[in-house]
Amino acid sequence: MRVGIDGRSLAGGGRGVAHYLEGMLAALDPSVEARVLLPRGARLTSAPANVTAVRHRAPSRALYGAAAVAGWPRLDRLLGAVDVVWLPAPAPVAVGRTPYALTLHDLSFVERPGDFTRYERAWHRLARIGPLARRAARVLAVSGATAAAARARLGLAADRVLVVPAGPGDPGPAVAQETRYGRYFLFVGALEPRKALDRLVAAHDGLDAALVIAGEGRVRVHGRGVHVLGRVTREQKAALYAGALAVVLPSWCEGYGYPPLEGYAHGTPAIVSDLPALRETAGAGALYVPPGDVAALRAALRELSGDDALRRRLAAGGAAALRDRTWEESARALCAALEEAAGG
């Protein structure tokens, strides 16, 4: 099977979709021939022999914006003769007669449009995500919760939506623990409104343990005992995971949730919002709190900070949850779904 892939996310500064795409590409069966379109600024950090980069000199926004408005250039034409096209995330694009599969990571752009900038909302409108999903031969959801939301919100037939889990994230290498911040809780991710960082900072106020925040975005975060690091390397992120009391993900909405799984790889438990997708992904390695409930989040932070035995029990539950999440299993499910799309 020859698969053409939209690789624009690989110019996105190492965010979740880029980790997802690189994880899938690295684990693809060698019998699958993958051709990845890379607009200017996008690059593959590493790829097996069966993955070929097809470079384009235009930047992502110009290339795909023109395609969405004018219907040209078409992605399948740019990639050559392929059996199926895979879109790893919804975005403006033009595809010809070649069947395609679309991956949905969450429905935050539908559920909480006010969390996005005016430009981002315009970009989502240009993508025409509802029609894009309905025209797809198959829609691939990273979790059962995302699949249910896609069927309900986008009017998709149940038999065309397949769950293809997004793997264990990118936990980084085994490294020594970070020690500069003493005892600390850790947030890793985009600094965006839907991540509810204001509620996390409010819940943390008055605690002895520090709060370390690794990531970039437009939300400004400050508070006593709060350390905002910006973008960190894989090695730095791994050290932060290894040294944290817990990974905290207090989001208003999530479709999957990498940080708890990445923390589990370093023996660190989690505190997360009680959302269907996070129940599904984080499993028995986390304490769950209602989204936006500052008092409940503060109580969970205090409980984990003072209870070593609880942290050990949760860490064991996290290790069990992580055993079911591998890129190899995810890539096998992806290939099966793409074969269905190509035949359908």
- When mean pLDDT is compared across 54-63, 255-264, 325-334, the lowest value belongs to 54-63
Residue 71 binned pLDDT confidence (cut-offs 50, 70, 90): confident
Before 48, cis peptide (omega within 30)?
no
- The crossing angle, in degrees rounded to 10, of helices 327-343 and 16-27 is 80
Three-class DSSP labels, 88-157? CCCCCCCCCCCCEEEEECCCHHHHCHHHCCHHHHHHHHHHCHHHHHHHCCEEEECCHHHHHHHHHHHCCC
Q: What is the pLDDT of residue 150?
A: 96
Question: CATH number of the domain at 184-323, out of 3.30.830.10, 3.40.50.2000, 3.40.630.30, 3.40.30.10?
Answer: 3.40.50.2000
Residue 262: name the closest of 306, 309, 216, 327 by CA. Answer: 327
Residue 12 binned pLDDT confidence (cut-offs 50, 70, 90): low
Q: What is the pLDDT of residue 344?
A: 62
Residue 109 binned pLDDT confidence (cut-offs 50, 70, 90): very high
| Mean pLDDT on 301-325 | 96
Average pLDDT, the chain: 94
Range list for CATH 3.40.50.2000 in the chain: 2-167+326-343, 184-323
Q: Is the pLDDT of residue 100 over 80?
A: yes
**pTM here?**
0.95
Residues 6+ apart with CB under 8 A from 203: 250, 294, 295, 297, 298, 301
The DSSP code for 188 is E
Residue 282 buriedness (CB in 10 A; 0-12 / 13-18 / 19+): buried
Q: Where is mean pLDDT largest: 16-25, 49-58, 226-235?
A: 226-235
Q: Is the pLDDT of residue 103 over 60?
A: yes
2-167+326-343 classified as CATH 3.60.15.10: no
Distance (Å, whole) CA 295 – CA 301: 10
